[in-house]
Amino acid sequence: MRASPTTMAKRSRVASAARLWSRRHHYRFLWGYFFIAPWVIAFLAFDLIPTLSGFYLSLTRYSIVGSPKWVGLANYSKMFFKDHLYWKSLYNTAYYSFLSVPLGVVSGFTLALLLNLPIRGTTLYRSVYYLPTVVPSVASAIVWLWIFDTREGILNFFISFLGVGPIRWLTSPTWSKPALIIMSLWGLGGSMVIYLAGLQGIPEELYDAAEIDGAGAIGRLIYVTIPLMTPIIFFNLVMSIIGSFQVFNNAFIMTEGGPLNSTLFYVLHLFTNAFTFLKMGYAAAMAVVLFIIVLIVTLVVQRSSGRWVHYEV
């Protein structure tokens, strides 16, 4: 049975509208891809392709000047069973991360709480504490070399008033890592700003309600501020963990891994193998293992977040 002319006309209009919508939808996709193309190109050029190349080079012997030669798992075997400095660098990095990350998170959050108080000159204090984060790392390292100097350092000068003898901060294997951990607090301004933004986003009505219920300053901190700040604490915690495993500049400039390899961190050992001994394949294998370690630690922290991170509904 043939359709009526009216029905056929309706079907034609519907088909025409569908083609028009499909064409417009196609153009929108093209414009979308056009605008994200710079990011996609940068991601491929500087992230994905180098990462895949690193996995491949980790299975080769490569010294830059020649072509990579396939050696399979030889680099990993050497790393785990023959290179004693590898385990030393891994221990140094774990030590640094285990102490610097909690200290940095707690100190940054405490500093943000203090700078969130309604006192005179708060803006100036915030600027002063944030200023070290914009100072180049090389300049900061040179300043801290003077601060940690055994004879003329300002830190030992103040400690001397407590009756404590001069501490060999950067020349003693006992104090070298704690010195760099203390120095890591120099850059608290970045996390402090993030904490401060979160604190200022907490509704005042919640504090008023808690105060009506009889909560004091400590009670409001424990039952209102900290629970609402846990997503930001979680973010800063993950970023701090990733950054701590990549510590390099300060040890490279200030101690060069010494004394007695006490500050030979993982990335510094990787850098030395890559650009001093030209063992690019071995360095790539170290980078792959570091990627796996950071991934596992991050996943563990992420899985635990369901127990202590509270997202506002």
Q: Residues for the chain: how many in total?
A: 313
Per-residue pLDDT for 152 more than 90?
Answer: no
Same domain? For 145 and 228 the reply is yes
Per-residue pLDDT for 166 more than 80?
Answer: yes
Query: Residues 293-305: pLDDT tens digits?
Result: 999 999 999 999 9
- pLDDT at position 20: 54
**Residue 313 located in a structural domain:** no
Report the pLDDT averaged over residues 171-189.
93
Phi/psi at 61 (5° precision): -105, 115
- pLDDT at position 7: 57
- pLDDT at position 23: 63
Higher pLDDT, 168 or 313: 168
Per-residue pLDDT for 47 more than 70?
Answer: yes
Same domain? For 80 and 48 the reply is no
Whether residue 75 contacts residue 281, with contact meaning beta carbons closer than 8 Å, is answered with yes
Same domain? For 121 and 27 the reply is no
Same domain? For 149 and 18 the reply is no
Per-residue pLDDT for 174 more than 70?
Answer: yes
- pLDDT at position 6: 59
Cα–Cα distance for residue pair 295/301, rounded to 1 Å: 10
Beta strands in the chain (DSSP E): 60-61, 69-70
**Residue 63 located in a structural domain:** no
| Model confidence band, residue 25 (pLDDT cutoffs 50, 70, 90) | low
- pLDDT at position 177: 96
Same domain? For 31 and 119 the reply is no
Per-residue pLDDT for 69 more than 70?
Answer: yes
Same domain? For 281 and 135 the reply is yes
Q: Which helix (H) or strand (E) holds 82?
A: none
Cα–Cα distance for residue pair 183/255, rounded to 1 Å: 13
Same domain? For 43 and 94 the reply is no
Per-residue pLDDT for 35 more than 90?
Answer: no
Domain of 173, CATH number, reads 1.10.3720.10
- H helices of the chain, in order, are 5-43, 49-57, 74-81, 84-115, 122-130, 137-147, 154-159, 176-184, 189-200, 204-212, 217-220, 226-245, 249-254, 266-271, 280-308
Same domain? For 179 and 261 the reply is yes
Count the helix, strand and coil residues of the chain and give each as a percent rounded to the nearest 5.
75, 0, 25
**Residue 67 located in a structural domain:** no
**Residue 86 located in a structural domain:** yes
Same domain? For 95 and 11 the reply is no
- pLDDT at position 312: 67
Cα–Cα distance for residue pair 202/220, rounded to 1 Å: 12
Q: Which helix (H) or strand (E) holds 48?
A: none
Residue 119: give the domain boundaries: 74-308
**Residue 111 located in a structural domain:** yes
Same domain? For 97 and 156 the reply is yes
Query: What tokens does 303 get?
Result: 């899985």
Cα–Cα distance for residue pair 82/62, rounded to 1 Å: 19
22-31, 146-155, 215-224: least confident range: 22-31
**Residue 190 located in a structural domain:** yes
- H helices of 44-151, in order, are 49-57, 74-81, 84-115, 122-130, 137-147
In 3D, which of 29, 54, 27 has the Cα closest to residue 290?
54
Q: Which residues pair with 70 in a beta bridge?
A: 60
Query: Residues 78-93: pLDDT tens digits?
Result: 999 999 999 999 999 9
Q: Classify 273 as helix, strand or coil.
A: helix
**Residue 285 located in a structural domain:** yes
Report the pLDDT averaged over residues 150-177.
91
| Model confidence band, residue 22 (pLDDT cutoffs 50, 70, 90) | low
Per-residue pLDDT for 11 more than 90?
Answer: no
**Residue 68 located in a structural domain:** no
Q: For residue 310, what is the DSSP state?
A: -
Same domain? For 95 and 32 the reply is no
Same domain? For 21 and 119 the reply is no
Per-residue pLDDT for 3 more than 60?
Answer: no
| Model confidence band, residue 162 (pLDDT cutoffs 50, 70, 90) | confident
Query: What tokens does 299 get?
Result: 């996943």
Q: Which amino acid is at 180?
A: L
Any idea of the CA torsion for 156, 157, 161, 167, to the nearest 10 degrees? 20
Into how many domains does the chain fold? 2
